Amino acid sequence: MKHIVKILTLLVAITGFWIGLLQTSVIPQSHTWLLPIYFVVSLGCYGLLMVGIGLMCFPTCPQEALLLQEDITEAKEYLKRNAVDVRSD
Amino acid sequence: MEGKNNNKYSIIVPTYNERMNIALLVYLIFKHLRDVDFEIIVVDDGSPDGTQEIVKQLQQLYGDDRILLRPRAKKLGLGTAYIHGLKHASGNFVVIMDADLSHHPKYLPSFIKKQLETGASIVTGTRYVKGGGVHGWNLMRKLTSRGANVLAQTFLWPGVSDLTGSFRLYKKSVLEDVISSCVSKGYVFQMEMIVRASRKGYHIEEVPITFVDRVFGSSKLGGSEIVEYLKGLAYLLLTT
Ligand SMILES: Nc1nc2c(ncn2[C@@H]2O[C@H](COP(=O)(O)OP(=O)(O)O)[C@@H](O)[C@H]2O)c(=O)[nH]1
Ligand SMILES: [Mg+2]
């Protein structure tokens, strides 16, 4: 099944549930009418929140940059001794 | 590593203007993969900076059975570079990594170990778990990366945490199978590979890697990345 079909199925299920709510009016109709808006807004908030959290906890590794510099020096020395042309230009 | 690893690993490295990086990379691969049977396949797309000269010097040093130069006449893009390299691979496993040292060879043993432990078809490097990380990105790049990831996780449910990373170990037959069904280019290509593999039900494992932005040379991807990415996402939603 294509992925878009899965997502559409999910949407149809949610819509079905919503229509059900509208008809049975378990909660006041005026609220039910607003539910799709809540849904979209909370989806957007979720996205923004996840991006925000991701940014704040972005894993960084400054020490790796230093280690890489050491590796580069070591590699250059070895390669130079073995006739590989590693002059930087 | 264990004495009884009878596998052979073909490491495919696409290069375009990476004369300095490829030399350093090859040294580091040999340093970190001591007791493993491997070959390095360099797919160079006619780099004007003399990358191929350096590769030939490296062949003198390490042997041309360990370092294979499989060049192409002109810059034909990354996706086809992998396919080209794959044709010449003699190992039963294939590693794909960038030449620019953003993918550090010191992680190769952990890819191999993970594969041996789990029997996975694909081991993919991830920057977004404990032990992983990125260095050298500005805020904008972090923001796009996070945004892209959240979008993909929300809509694609790919089952892996790092979609656009391209440091991966594949069973050769699996790579052949997956790559033949991929059509995208650039970043989307990496994403398409892993999403298709995941949809086909292949066993995928992750290992943490750190990613240090390139020191030498310049990046070849770029341009309208965000638009390309969104198009790629839509494409994957519709076709996988
Ligand atoms: N053979 C080949 N290699 C390429 C091409 N474009 C990029 N590469 C290589 O692919 C790797 C990743 O490219 P890079 O420019 O670092 O991309 P970035 O890390 O996503 O910015 C490097 O090893 C490049 O040399 C291409 O058209 N042909
Ligand atoms: Mg790079």
Q: Which residues lie below 8 Å from residue A62, measured CB to CB, with a gap of 6+?
A: B135
* For B104, nearest residue in chain A (alpha carbons): A68
B222 touches chain A (CB under 8 A): no
pLDDT in tens, B164-183: 889 999 999 999 999 999 98
Closest CA to B71 of B13, B111, B114: B13
Q: Does residue B200 surpass a pLDDT of 70?
A: yes
Residue B42: which H helix or E strand, with range? strand B37-44
SS3 A11: helix
Residue B172: which H helix or E strand, with range? helix B172-180
Q: Which residues lie below 8 Å from residue B219, measured CB to CB, with a gap of 6+?
A: B100
A60 touches chain B (CB under 8 A): yes
pLDDT in tens, B73-120: 999 988 899 999 999 999 999 999 999 999 999 999 999 999 999 999
A61 touches chain B (CB under 8 A): yes
pTM of the model: 0.92
CA distance A66 to chain B (A): 10
One-letter amino acid for residue B133 of the chain = G
The pair phi, psi for residue B220, each rounded to 5°, is -100, -20
pLDDT tens by residue, chain A, 89 residues: 689 999 999 999 999 999 998 888 788 888 888 999 999 999 999 999 999 999 999 999 999 999 999 999 999 999 999 989 988 76
Length in residues, chain B: 240
Residue A52, both tokens: 């925000």
Q: Is the CB of B99 under 6 A from ligand 1?
A: yes
- Interatomic CA distance for residues A89 and B28, integer angstroms: 21
Task: Give the distance from CA B45 to its chain's centroid.
Answer: 17
One-letter amino acid for residue B226 of the chain = I
* For A78, nearest residue in chain B (alpha carbons): B27
Q: Which residues, in sequence order, are bridge partners of residue B12?
A: B41, B96
Per-residue model confidence (pLDDT) at position B185: 79
How many Å lie between the centroid of ligand 2 and the Cα of residue B100? Answer: 5
Per-residue model confidence (pLDDT) at position A2: 87
Contact B215 A72 (CB under 8 A): yes
Ligand nearest to the Cα of B19, by number: 1
- Interatomic CA distance for residues B176 and B57, integer angstroms: 30
CA distance A89 to chain B (A): 9
